[in-house]
Structure 1
Amino acid sequence: MRIGELAALVGVSTRAVRHYHHLGLLPEPHRLGNGYRAYRLRDAVLLARIRRLAELGLALDEIRDILGDAQGRELREVLEELDADLARQQEALATRRQRLATLLAEADLDVDSTVPEPVRRIVGFDVRNLVSLALWVAGRRHGVPRGGTAVPYTGPQAGMTVVLLVVMVIEMVAVEILLRGLGAPVALRTLLLVLEGYGILTVLSVVAAIVTRPHVITADEVRIRYGAFFDLRVPRRLIAEVRQIRRYDESGTVRVDGERLAVAVGAQTNLLLELTEPVTATRPLGRRAEVRTVRFFADDPAPALAALHQRLKPVSPGPAPAS
């Protein structure tokens, strides 16, 4: 058979036959004296196999591997193995689709649900700190309603923070002078300046959050905070006792020990709330705890105590009506 006859018999183009020859899928046949290829029946069978495998969606490299493994075997045997392999792939796809259906059936499909909570909270800290910096510049406070009592807690760390900022500014200037003297590239100096400046901005924004987000006492609740990192709301109806304390040995800023919570500033707390039932406190990175006792710090505990005691006073009954 000539190449045109072979192509017509199998149902492919002569160009496809030549391409299969070029790739080594179809061996070159014997050539006649005039140079024409002379195909035999076995060439037609092999070309038919190639066509059938290609129609199944296999790549030509995969077909080459299958034909290499299938030498001496019948086409049915090769196709049966291929069918079993496709069945395994179909089963794997069905399993993946089942998992996807389970995910789609969940109520919470928010993109944030795929991000670990500690990461989301850290990003939230940065955003709230920058907002607090804008509030500080504008001379405003966050979350202090009309009639509420703001209770600042900046005192013990104010001096240390000022020293830290001064040191950071001096360090930034000193590094810039040193790098200029060493002839460092402008790109390197700019990068270091940006990093140092961002560090200073971060410290300033943390300070701003502490200043603009004080503790708050209202008729309905006591809100205990530490900058943008911690926020606990205690309903007034749950407060059984309020008293002043003096502790200078607190470890950490927000610490839970059993059902006792401490929100310290400079290792200090000076106010204590005893609750009639536990409230849920969420620590900075998202861990939650049930607490019945809350210790926290106020720059001046006297106004806070007065406001708390005022809120806790029972309402005196009026005079009895005349009979």
Structure 2
Amino acid sequence: MRVLRRGVANEGRRLGDLWMWAARRRHAVPAGAEVFAYAREQAALMYAMTFVYFVEAFGVWVLLRDAPSLHRIVLPFDVYTVLLVLGAHAVCVTRPHVLCADTLRVRRGLRVDLSIPVTLIAAVQRENRFSHPAREGELDLDVGARTSVTLELTGPVTHFTAFGRAREVTVVRLHAEEPDRLVRLLGQRLTRARTEPSPVPDRPV
């Protein structure tokens, strides 16, 4: 029952993000934060799938033009399928990676939304990798079957899967359209966090 509720909620978010995409808005991006998109490489595939489903819907209309009652039953499913594909792309466009002063929020549509404190990142590197079978303790947020940035953590962070199962991860691989800028800015945050002087303790009374 919980999985069903989660699925219905995700469908509502997907449709809501379609409106945000049309309005060129992004989800949960605070003022002053750095934004890193990742959906561009999948856009051509998603648009192609949308076109195929649209052609299919038109073909069904031609086949059922003499059976309007049956077509009225089928039409909502055709429309929903087109919206489903567009919504799958919209949630990736409206939910980019976000780098704040002390946190990197990595996302992959509705599937992953993970906040990583900068102080928990041991190393960040520009690394092109093609997706491979998932390993214990690793999280791959690939787009077009590849990632471009690798984060190594000093300790585990908890990632919750689409079905609510908790996983501890210490390596996060993600894709960004500007990987060099992400690595550079994140490196600056890491340097700043490691070199900031510790607060001077109060003198004893």
TM-score (norm 1): 0.58
**Mapping for residues 159-238 of structure 1, pairs under 5 Å:** 159-180=44-65, 183-184=66-67, 186-238=68-120
Looking at structure 2, the residues matched to 262 and 123 of structure 1 have their Cα atoms a distance apart, in angstroms, of 25
Partner in structure 2 of residue 259 of structure 1: 137
Partner SS state of residue 313, structure 1: helix
Task: Give unmatched runs, 5+ long, in structure 1.
Answer: 1-114, 318-323
The Cα shift of 1:120 comes to 2.5
Match of 2:148, SS? strand
Identify, as 1 or 2, the structure richer in strand. 2
Q: Please say if residues 131 and 142 of structure 2, whose CA atoms lie closer than 8 Å, have aligned partners that are also in contact.
A: no
Name 2:10's counterpart in structure 1: 125
Q: Report the Cα distance in structure 2 between the residues aligned to 1:248 and 1:291, rounded to whole angstroms.
A: 19
The answer to whether 1:147 aligns with 2:32 is yes
In the aligned structure 2, how far is the partner of 1:157 from the partner of 1:301?
16
Pairwise CA distance, 1:175: 1.0
Specify the alignment match of 1:10 in structure 2. none
Can you list the C-alpha shifts for 1:36-58, whole angstroms capped at 9, x where unaligned?
xxxxxxxxxxxxxxxxxxxxxxx
Q: Alpha-carbon deviation of 1:237?
A: 1.1
8 Å Cα contact 1:152-1:214 kept in structure 2: yes
Whose radius of gyration is greater, 1 or 2?
Answer: 1
| Pair 1:304 & 2:182 matched | yes
Provide the secondary structure at the position in 1 that maps to 2:64. Answer: helix
Show the counterpart of 2:167.
289
Cα shift at 1:143: 1.2
TM-aligned CA deviation for residue 226 of structure 1: 0.9
What are the equivalent positions in structure 2 for 1:244-283 lying under 5 Å apart? 244-251=126-133, 255=134, 257-283=135-161
Verify the 8 A CA contact 1:271 1:295 in the aligned structure 2.
yes
Kindly tell me the number of residue pairs found equivalent between the two proteins.
195
Letter in structure 2 aligned against 1:266: G
Q: Taking every aligned residue pair, what percent have the same amino acid on both sides?
A: 38
CA root-mean-square deviation: 1.5
Partner Cα distance (1:159, 1:248) in 2: 19
Q: Which ranges of 4 or more aligned residues in structure 1 deviate by more than 4 Å?
A: none
User: 1:280·1:290 contact (CA, 8 Å) conserved in 2?
Assistant: yes
Counterpart in 2 of 1:79?
A: none
> TM-score if structure 2 supplies the norm length?
0.90
Q: 2:196 and 2:6 mapped to 1: Cα distance?
A: 45
Partner of 2:23: 138
**Structure with more contact order per residue of length (Cα contacts < 8 Å, sep ≥ 6):** 2
| Greater per-residue helix proportion | 1
**Whole-angstrom distance in 1 between the partners of 2:131 and 2:108:** 18
Q: Is the 8 A contact 2:140 2:172 kept in 1?
A: yes
2-side partners of 1:308 and 1:195: how far apart? Answer: 44
**2:131 touches 2:140 (CA, 8 Å); kept in 1?**
no
Cα pair 1:136 1:212 within 8 Å, conserved? yes
